[in-house]
Structure 1
Amino acid sequence: MSCKFLWDPRLQIKLPILKKEWEAYDKENQYIILEKWENIRGQIPERIADIEKEINKKQVQLDTEDEFEKCCILNEEIAELASIINDLWLWYRTHPQVTE
């Protein structure tokens, strides 16, 4: 199989790294890749829920923070976490099909 799943430290999941176009893989390899991807993909909603909890904690901190610089840092951290959620949803919606 010429596909690897590499850990993405930002998203904290393994992502598929295809060495050729999806259609160039034979059916057997496509099934193997899809099986691994589905196992990983199934973890994404839980990962998103964990990040949403982090965002909520930071928003509570932001609501009580009086120092402008700390507010800016919290806003930046919240924006980055929201960006991670967006990227995770994009990966979650990635659902290749076995080609005929």
Structure 2
Amino acid sequence: MSDYFTYDQRLKIKVPQLTKSWTAYNLQTQNKILTEWERIRGSIPDRIGELEAEINNKQEALNIEEDFNRSCELNHEISELASIINDLWIWFRTTQRISNAKIHN
């Protein structure tokens, strides 16, 4: 499956990296890719939960932080974590489109 997925260091999950259009893959390969993606996709809500916990910790630190520069750093870190969560939700929903397209073909 390493031919079809690559590890995204920022998201800390493997994401699809297909070199051809979906329909160019035979049915057996499509099924293998979808099975692996569903396994990965199932881990996304847990990953989001981890990031939300990190955000909560940083917000608590921000609430008591008195140093302006450190407050700016914490805000930036919170923003980056929120961006990662947004990207993970996009990947989570991407499969629904692939699966639906496959079902309708």
Structure 2: unaligned runs, 5 residues or longer = none
Q: Residue 50 of structure 1 corresponds to which residue in structure 2? A: 50
What's the TM-score once normalised by structure 2's chain length?
Answer: 0.89
Higher strand share: 1
Aligned residue identity for 1:8: D
What's the TM-score once normalised by structure 1's chain length?
Answer: 0.94
Aligned residues: 100
Q: How far is the alpha carbon of 1:17 from its aligned partner?
A: 0.6
Q: How far is the alpha carbon of 1:23 from its aligned partner?
A: 1.6
Whether the 8 Å CA contact 1:2–1:18 is kept in 2: the answer is no
Q: How far is the alpha carbon of 1:27 from its aligned partner?
A: 1.3
Whether the 8 Å CA contact 1:51–1:85 is kept in 2: the answer is yes
Whether the 8 Å CA contact 1:44–1:92 is kept in 2: the answer is yes
Q: How far is the alpha carbon of 1:4 from its aligned partner?
A: 2.0
Q: How far is the alpha carbon of 1:3 from its aligned partner?
A: 4.1
Structure 1: unaligned runs, 5 residues or longer = none
- What SS does structure 2 have at the residue aligned with 1:14? strand
Q: Residue 60 of structure 1 corresponds to which residue in structure 2? A: 60
What do you get for the CA RMSD once the two structures are aligned?
A: 1.5
Change (3 A) 1:2 1:25: farther
- Hey, which bits of structure 1, 4+ residues long, moved more than 3 A? none
Aligned residue identity for 2:29: N
Change (3 A) 1:33 1:76: same
Q: Residue 41 of structure 1 corresponds to which residue in structure 2? A: 41
Looking at both structures, which has the greater relative contact order when contacts are Cα pairs under 8 Å and sequence separation is at least 6? 1
Q: Residue 20 of structure 1 corresponds to which residue in structure 2? A: 20
